[in-house]
Amino acid sequence: MAETSRRALRLLSLLAARGSWSLNELAARLEVSERTVRRDIDTLRRLGYPVLSLRGPAGGYRLGAGHTLPPLLFDNDQAPAVAVALQTAPHTVSGLGEDAARALDALEQVMPARLRAAVEAMRLTRLQNYWEFPAPPIEAAALQVAGSAVRRHEVLLAEPLGPGGARPDPGTAGFTPARRIEPHHLVVWAGRWYLVGFDHADETWRVHRLDSLHLHAPTGIRFTPRELPGGDVAHLVMTSYDRGDTPAAWECTGSARLDLPAETVARWAPGGSVVEHLDSGHCRLTVGAWSWAGIAGLLATFDTDLTDVRPPELVAACRRLARRFRTAAGPAGRPTAEVRP
């Protein structure tokens, strides 16, 4: 009986997806005999779905007007996938934000409690950024663990991963004991996933790159949510220079000392770059691009003095750009020719 019900639901979804189907097409898609398809058609009609027969040599069926589909059915993997897709896709296509949010709310209403909890765990905060470069895909299991802990206010145990995402063995170089974190927010910014929480190790708020953590199974230990510093998760994430970011893989990678505070540069640095705090008014920015001139151009957007530029290839690119800009500006004291559209 259960198999018949599942097949009937699949038949209904096929009829709803296309205007008409021939009998042999439906049998092939369902991998059953044509006689079984006819029985399933009768089952749908008894349930009140207007399945119309089409005349002709081949015959066929279509779903009549005025039908109402049953609640959508998702499995444990599909539900979180839909939740993440509806929240992230609107930021690559304009005008979909409100519609996608309403669609997610509607889907939650027709899901059973178990899957609704999984979808709610994927509720995330997404921040806008001018520089957004692709990051390695995050593991769905990590999103599920972190999202559930945020939703349920459960303490997380997490170990920082080593270079390349490796998990150092206890007693070896680079091993760091698991940290107890009170997770408060799951955030997407500049194409990267961050976990915002209160870290018990040093009793302070921290922003962690989610893909740089090995998350243990849920502890079941509940906590009372704390008040976020400043009350603005966007400001906290964007101005945190020690988020655990690592340089993205580029053809060229260079760095320079900027005469700006780390929290200012961190807010506007390209995704996949690293900001190192030096003192209250200075920081080092490491950034990648497909050319040395590209890195020089990115550094120039901060409109501040640059020193200790590395490596020599980046220094040479800065000199080339300086010559080009001097030429473009024209002789000193003489205005350049007016450019008319």
Q: Domain total for the chain? A: 3
Peptide bond into 90 cis (omega under 30): no
Residue 274's domain comprises: 252-329
pLDDT digits (tens, 9 = 90+) for 20-46: 899 989 999 889 999 999 999 998 888
Q: Of 238, 304, 294, which Cα lies nearest the Cα of 271? A: 238
pLDDT digits (tens, 9 = 90+) for 285-340: 999 999 999 999 999 999 999 999 999 999 999 999 999 999 998 886 555 555 44
pLDDT digits (tens, 9 = 90+) for 186-214: 988 877 889 999 999 999 999 999 988 99
Instruction: Clarify whether residues 86 and 221 are in a common domain.
Output: yes
Indicate which CATH number applies to the domain containing 58.
Answer: 1.10.10.10
pLDDT digits (tens, 9 = 90+) for 163-180: 777 888 888 877 888 999
Instruction: Clarify whether residues 175 and 32 are in a common domain.
Output: no
User: Would the pLDDT of 13 be above 90?
Assistant: no
Mean pLDDT of the residues in the chain: 84
Instruction: Clarify whether residues 43 and 147 are in a common domain.
Output: no
Rounded-to-integer distance, Cα 168 and Cα 173, Å? 7
Q: Go through 73-112 and write b for each residue having 16 or more CB atoms within 10 A of its CB, e for each that does not.
A: ebeeeebbebbbebbeebeeeeeeeeebeeebeebbeebe
**Structure token digits, residue 45:** 């009609």
- Render 9-52 in DSSP notation, one character per residue: HHHHHHHHHSS-B-HHHHHHHHTS-HHHHHHHHHHHHHTT--EE
Residue 82 in domain? yes
Which is more confidently placed, 167 or 16?
Answer: 167
Residue 335 in domain? no
Residue 338 in domain? no
Strands (E), 108-216: 125-127, 156-160, 179-189, 192-199, 204-209, 213-215
Instruction: Clarify whether residues 144 and 206 are in a common domain.
Output: yes
Residue 41 in domain? yes
Rounded-to-integer distance, Cα 122 and Cα 114, Å? 13
Provide the 8-state DSSP code for 230.
G
User: Would the pLDDT of 155 be above 80?
Assistant: yes
